[in-house]
Amino acid sequence: MRAATLLSAGFLASLADALVITRAAIDKCLVDAGVPIDVKGTDDYKRDVAPFNVRLPYTPTAISVPLTTKHIQDSVKCGKKLGIKVSAKSGGHSYASFGFGGENGHLVVELDRMYNVTYDATKNIATVQPGARLGHVATVLYEQYNRAIAHGTCPGVGVSGHFLHGGFGFSSHMHGLALDFVDSVTVVLADGSVVEASSTENTDLLWGIKGAGSNFGIVAAWKLTTFEAPAVLTRFGLSLGWNKSTAVAGLEAVEKYAKNIQPREVNFRIGDYNKGQPGIEGLYYGTPAQWRKAFQPLLDTLPAGYNVSDPQQLNWIEAVISYSNYDNVDWITPSPQENFYAKSLTLKGLNGTSAQNFVDYYFDVANNVVDRFWFFQLDMHGGKNSQVTKVAPDATSYAHRDKLYIIQFYDRYENNQTYPATSFGFLDGWVDATTKPLPESDWGAYANYADARLSRAVAEDQYYGDHLPRLQKLKAKFDPKQLFYYTQSVQPKA
């Protein structure tokens, strides 16, 4: 009854009035400063307010659309002045709609009109604007300069969200995380100042940016190192044919290989996109014949029943395109929307009871979820020869370099359906079963696969692990009043 009284017509009308007044004030502040904005109801507004995950739509108070660092700076100043939370949006591909703050009412700083990429060969530094998408960055670097960076596979993902929290893809075992390519950044801070963070200036800020970067400011420019685009790569794959009685042995064979044997040049993951038909897909730095030799120790130990597909030799951009599932990756617009819930695990290993629980749930529960599309992907992230592991665990705020695997779990309905609340238990149950036997120090979650349903305290802990206390101090230093708050942002603690 109390709720009914509170939500009286008069109360709602005054709330709506307050929103209109706030929106008018923030729009005026932005326009007065010369910052482009999206006017509500326009096509641009509709495009920019559309979330990648249609399950989580939010209504901003305003959307600014900067073209310069000064526009970003003035957006931050307007948010600060009017007491409105500010959220940067790069590619807008956050699983939890964190580009909107994960709630209504923020000033969204839509960065995706800033997508230019240039390269200085004398310094080996690419300068990338903060709203460029991965496919565009890869295309420009390759076509104009024959250079490359290791990053994820989706061409529509934004450089900023991706590089700020990790960035794992088909070159990461070979070359590291996307954030390992960050030389320096230009950042707009909560006080409205613009600073550089590099190995010589604001080094603590750079440390925080490389792993938990959505918490401290808005990155307005990236300076990235690159490697020469390889001319000879091999895309390989196999169908594993595992069943409930062979899958644990299969996982143990994979674990042995990934931990100690997998050469740096072998990149791969296990995935199932077809309800009980797991396979391996990967990219090798070398020819098909060299791949076969490097992979043979795993083939020798896998349970019988697998089939190896014909490996394909590709150059760099062909490999990027091949793994994108599109014909062209030079994107400056968002990916098609999806309606889903996702979770992740970072794991030191998946063996014994934990592997048995994962497999039992896979075959007994997951394979019976037949009314919709779901997948899991288990990435070979760490191990002795992985470039991810070669960087010291505390060198950046990314907290998972001691983890062998990243697993992503993804559960999707059609966009015209409602994701039912009763369906969350499907992935929750899989993750709970897998982690139940594990000590807390053996697992976490990956911030780039944000799980919108974790409480803020649990999310901080799973995403940032041992690095959390240091990140909370940094938050207190750079954003004590939480201008850049979102529903899972790091809490400031002095």
Ligand X SMILES: *[C@@H]1O[C@H](CO)[C@@H](O)[C@H](O)[C@H]1NC(C)=O
Ligand Y SMILES: Cc1cc2nc3c(=O)[nH]c(=O)nc-3n(C[C@H](O)[C@H](O)[C@H](O)COP(=O)(O)OP(=O)(O)OC[C@H]3O[C@@H](n4cnc5c(N)ncnc54)[C@H](O)[C@@H]3O)c2cc1C
Structure token digits, residue 381: 């992230």
**Rule CB under 6 A: is residue 154 a binding residue for ligand Y?**
yes
Least CB distance from residue 139 to ligand X, whole Å? 15
**Rule CB under 6 A: is residue 253 a binding residue for ligand X?**
no
Parallel, antiparallel or unpaired: strands 62-64 and 117-120: unpaired
Query: Looking at 23, 30, 38, 52, which residue binds ligand Y (CB under 6 A)?
Result: 52
Rg of the chain (C-alpha set): 23
For the chain, the distance separating the N- and C-terminal CA atoms, rounded to the nearest angstrom, is 41
> Cα separations (Å) of 269 from 37, 226, 377, 406?
42, 24, 7, 9
**Rule CB under 6 A: is residue 386 a binding residue for ligand Y?**
no
Query: Looking at 164, 270, 347, 483, which residue binds ligand Y (CB under 6 A)?
Result: 164
Residue nearest to ligand Y (CB): 161
Give how many residues touch ligand X by CB under 6 A: 22
Among the listed ranges 153-161, 243-251, 431-439, 465-473, the one in contact with ligand Y (CB under 6 A) is 153-161
7 phi, psi to nearest 5 deg: -85, 40
Give how many residues touch ligand Y by CB under 6 A: 35
Query: Looking at 241, 276, 288, 297, which residue binds ligand X (CB under 6 A)?
Result: 241
Q: Which of 15, 121 has the CB closer to ligand X?
A: 121
**Rule CB under 6 A: is residue 160 a binding residue for ligand Y?**
yes
**Rule CB under 6 A: is residue 133 a binding residue for ligand X?**
no
**Rule CB under 6 A: is residue 348 a binding residue for ligand X?**
yes
Residues 290-349 that bind ligand Y (CB under 6 A): 335
Per-residue binding string, ligand X, 410-449, x by CB under 6 A, is ----x-x---------------------x---x-------
> Cα separations (Å) of 475 from 168, 190, 306?
25, 10, 49
Q: Which of 30, 108 has the CB closer to ligand Y?
A: 108
Least CB distance from residue 448 to ligand Y, whole Å? 4
Least CB distance from residue 68 to ligand Y, whole Å? 14
Dist. CA 156–CA 162, nearest whole Å: 11
Q: Which of 37, 179 has the CB closer to ligand Y?
A: 179
Q: Please name the residues in contact with 232: beta carbons below 8 A apart, sequence gap of 6 or more.
A: 285, 286, 287, 313, 315
Least CB distance from residue 65 to ligand X, whole Å? 10
- The closest alpha carbon to 218, from 57, 80, 48, 93, belongs to 80
> What b-and-e string marks burial along 127-141, b requiring 16 or more CB atoms within 10 Å of the CB?
bbbbbbbbbbbbbbb
| 381 binds, options ligand Y, ligand X, none, Cβ within 5 to 8 A by partner type | none
Residues 388-447 that bind ligand Y (CB under 6 A): none
**Rule CB under 6 A: is residue 219 a binding residue for ligand Y?**
yes
**Rule CB under 6 A: is residue 55 a binding residue for ligand Y?**
no
CA contacts within 13 A on the Cβ side of 5: 2
**Rule CB under 6 A: is residue 111 a binding residue for ligand Y?**
yes
10 Å CB burial of residue 198 (0-12, 13-18, 19+) is middle
Residues 17-46 that bind ligand Y (CB under 6 A): none
| 414 binds, options ligand X, ligand Y, none, Cβ within 5 to 8 A by partner type | ligand X
- The closest alpha carbon to 276, from 247, 309, 310, belongs to 247
Among the listed ranges 112-120, 221-229, 261-269, 485-493, the one in contact with ligand X (CB under 6 A) is 112-120
- The closest alpha carbon to 397, from 347, 435, 447, belongs to 447
**Rule CB under 6 A: is residue 168 a binding residue for ligand Y?**
yes
Dist. CA 311–CA 474, nearest whole Å: 47
Least CB distance from residue 142 to ligand Y, whole Å? 18
Q: What is the DSSP letter of 98?
A: G
Dist. CA 375–CA 380, nearest whole Å: 17
Residue nearest to ligand X (CB): 349
| 246 binds, options ligand X, ligand Y, none, Cβ within 5 to 8 A by partner type | ligand X
| 348 binds, options ligand X, ligand Y, none, Cβ within 5 to 8 A by partner type | ligand X
Dist. CA 162–CA 131, nearest whole Å: 11
Q: Which of 271, 383 has the CB closer to ligand Y?
A: 271
Angle at the Cα of 39 from the Cα atoms of 37 and 41, rounded to 5 degrees = 150
Least CB distance from residue 313 to ligand Y, whole Å? 22
Q: What is the DSSP letter of 26?
A: H
> Cα separations (Å) of 251 from 173, 382, 402?
19, 15, 19
Q: Is 291 helix (H, G, I), strand (E, B) or coil?
A: helix
Binding site for ligand X (CB under 6 A): 67, 113-114, 116, 239, 241, 243, 245-246, 255, 303-307, 348-349, 351, 414, 416, 438, 442
Binding site for ligand Y (CB under 6 A): 52, 87-95, 98-99, 111, 130, 152-154, 157-158, 160-162, 164-169, 213-214, 218-219, 335, 448, 486
